Structure 1
Amino acid sequence: MIGRRRLLAELAILGGLILVLAALGPFGSYATPLGSRLLHWALYLVIGYAFFRPVIAAGSALARQTGMSRLVAIAVACVFGAFPTSIIFVFAAAGPAWRSVTASHLAGAYLQTLIVGATVTIVQLLAERGAVPVFSAQPEPALADPQPTAAVDAIEREVAPALLDQLPPHLRGPILCLENEDHYVRVHTAQGSALVLIRMRDAVAQLEGQGARVHRSWWVARRAVSGTIRQDRSWKLRLVDGREVPVARASVPDLRALGWLNDEPPAA
């Protein structure tokens, strides 16, 4: 759910962009009257906002799965997201004359949609940087076959007060893992997760001796690991809350030496 403060920030930036584009009149729109330009860009950006808003979530998910930079993953999501959006724009504008739509129309609409969609995505990123609080709480989804409470209680003493102080009170508890999201770190605890404005390496430094950096985007508490999953040459760690965390191939030798990559939880 979008926070009210974040939503208002996004809409404010979006409104400013509508005025700028209406004044500049790009893509040949300058030849039309100001009122028409204003309406055109208002509709275009608002519809683009609705279609492109999931792009950041999709890009973040892609970054977590592949290990690529979050910004690069978001750019890739924009490239793919512009395809269905441009098709909808073209055929909706053509109306009854949809049979006259050509490949050149689609190509031009795709380029324009990609530019507008990227602009909308930048609006969201700007709002994310400037409008959200230091943390953004997110309750954990229910996971199938949860581990016994005792498994979570076993890591109760391994907490990082300095990092936990930046979380909402109801989420403070045993830290299970850290997930890198660009300039933020999502701190996963036994009670849920929250997004904290901190560099990954600084967050990991606060937890020295309590776990390991298993992937460029992940740090895991050693007592949070309940098992491992191996698929050919790829490994994943299964945590006590049912989460599965990918292991980078470069980290496999170190984790194997620590005794993490076996059928049993890693030794304390």
Structure 2
Amino acid sequence: MTDTPLHLAKRELQRLLTSPKVWIGVLAVGLIAGLSGPFGTIDHLSPLPRLIYWILLSASAFFIGSGVGTFAHCALRPRLPDLVATLVAGLCVGIVLTAILAAINREIFGISPLDPEHLLGTFANVGVISLIVTLAFVAFDRLDETPDDTPQTPRPADALLRRLPPEKRGPLLSLSATDHYVEVTTPNGSDLVLMRLSDAIELATGVDGLQVHRSHWVARAAVAGPRRENGRLMLRLTDGRDIPVSRTYVSAVKDAGLIPE
């Protein structure tokens, strides 16, 4: 697949657009803002136009901001420390959303998008919000990866499985790298998580499994048996998929008892 920031941004945007939970959240924010009428909109717009204004603004800000943020972060991450790349990405989101909001306000309120005072005021609000939201997402990711220190026994790969939709969580079957994503598969389905395979494998600590290819990890309980396809060694999983075994990992797979000596 094409491993470019634009490709990854499109993929992330597609994932968000098809998520009912994301749409519920976006509509909820739009409705709350439409009813409360912040930033003077309650004085300038009647209830129905105000609701439409804030719902459209919330949706465009979230989805466009997510696409811009993912693109900027993926483009900058190889060149900058992760936190710096995240902050710069948040700043880029703020600039783009300021331009969009200025264009919308021009059509609705007749405010010139070239008015320096209006632009600076808008960017001060939108830019700060974008940075805070970006940092919050990073903090949530860090918390998801932090082991639970409570006396309860943590479930294997719990920090990784929390990143999946609830209906797809279950015993871990395999991890497969694709671009900057990892396809996490359980008996209830699979989903893409934006992270490195090595980080996903680390979060899978506690699950009896091993890496069998530079792009694949499997749980031992998920392996039904070995097979060969055009001379290539494959592992047939319990869900019917075949995972390739590269030469580098053949010895480890044999030591694990997954293929005969």
Q: TM-score, normalised by structure 1?
A: 0.44
Structure of higher RCO (CA pairs closer than 8 Å, 6+ residues apart): 1
Q: TM-score, normalised by structure 2?
A: 0.45
